[in-house]
Structure 1
Amino acid sequence: MAPLVNGQVIKRSNLASGKNLGFWTSLGILISIIFFASLLFAFNVWKKYPLRRLKNLEVSDSEQKKQLTLLRNEVTTLETTKSRLENTITGKDALMLHKDITISRKDALINTKDTEIARLNPFEHEANTLRPQIGELKDEIRDLQRELQTSKSATSSEKARNTQIARRLVFVTSELAELQQKGSKCS
């Protein structure tokens, strides 16, 4: 079948004419040169690429090993820090538990104190009402103690006087008895 260009059949004789033949030959040679140059370039790149890639991989591998070492050191540091923080948290938890226990004990003491205050409040009110009476009674007791002291001293002086009177009575009685005896002897 004959080639078509713009809907027209082109005959071979037109393509192979002398004036077009040189053009088409040089175009074919140029395309062949470009094709082979491309193949050679691709082959060279393909040959060199694995070496460059290997060198890049070696560099990348050493960098990654350094980064891995740094990351491992950082992980070790972070684990140490984590351990210290966990110990701190454990200590603070124990301290908080101790403080909670202390607070609950103090709350219990406050409740006990409040209960005792509520229980003793009526007695306090009664004591407040009795205090004036107690003062009056203390004054009365002092007065009675003075009177008692006065009475005791009066009693002791009366006893002394009674003792003197009793002695005198004994003396007078004995003299009267003597006089009566003498008077009965005389009569």
Structure 2
Amino acid sequence: MAYTPKLAAGDTFPTVTAKLLDGSSIELGKPHSGADWQMLVVYRGRHCPMCTSYLNQLEEHKTALGNLGVSVVAVSADTEARLKEHMQEFDVSFPVAYGLTEEQMQTLGLYISNPREGLECDYKFAEPGLFVINEEGKIQTLDISNAPFLRPELSVLVGGLGFIRNPENNYPIRGTASYK
């Protein structure tokens, strides 16, 4: 059985770049569009209808996230051609990157799957992951799943981020206590 080390809450988010359809690159985990935090959503790829639905739902929350100072980016292992095809199935205004490599998936601590022949794609792909990176470049909160139906409920997540971002709550990064 393969083991992939997982990133932990409070870790510094690693440097990972991916490509955008306009030919530029984006550094994952780095806020953009005037935000000081970033939400990175790793999705399985074009072959996953649940991913398409999740990205469309994420678009519905983009304004609320922006109001909290959180920019959004999504990425998959899809090729440029597959992302171009997939973009016809969702209408989002946040950056969607492609070409996540197996090494990058491992760096992010994601679960990696082999495709089912003829049903998905012809390369290994990442299972869902969601990272919220704060202004210090640290992982504020994360969710790593091994299946497409295990993902954070976006309205609950946005509400929670609103609570975290409220300075009156002085809410720390959770899950960092050590144990033996």
Bucket of the pairwise TM-score, normalised by the shorter protein: under 0.3
> Which structure has greater helix proportion?
1
TM-score of the aligned structures, taking structure 2 as reference length: 0.13
Q: Which has the higher strand share?
A: 2
Structure of higher RCO (CA pairs closer than 8 Å, 6+ residues apart): 2
Superposition TM-score, scaled by structure 1 size: 0.13
- Quick check: which has more Rg, 1 or 2? 1
